[in-house]
Amino acid sequence: MAALLVLVLGTAACASDRPPEQSPADAVKQRHEAELMSIPGVVGVGVGKCDEQACIKVLVERETPELAAAVPADLEGVPVEVEEIGQVSAQ
């Protein structure tokens, strides 16, 4: 509602009030997150940098050859990298 009032009054909202723009890698991650999370051993999916370009990071407790083979090398042209992070626990 506040955003609507801002537009009606003709004033601009602060840049910090707007959500960050979604990168192409973010959009690809969102489209494929459920399928990646369904791979046994995957504990998270995110967007990061691989070789200075945006990529999808598939986070696993322990990388195995089977798990690495189950994760695609890229999705819709965005590189995918498996990253071993160890055991995940709530803090």
> Does residue 36 lie in a domain region?
yes
Q: pLDDT tens per residue, the chain (91 residues)?
A: 334 333 333 444 444 454 556 789 999 999 999 999 999 999 999 999 999 999 999 999 999 999 999 999 999 999 999 999 988 888 8
Q: Which domain holds residue 90?
A: 24-91
Q: Domain tally for the chain?
A: 1
- This prediction's pTM: 0.73
43, 88 in Cβ contact below 8 A?
yes
> Does residue 66 lie in a domain region?
yes
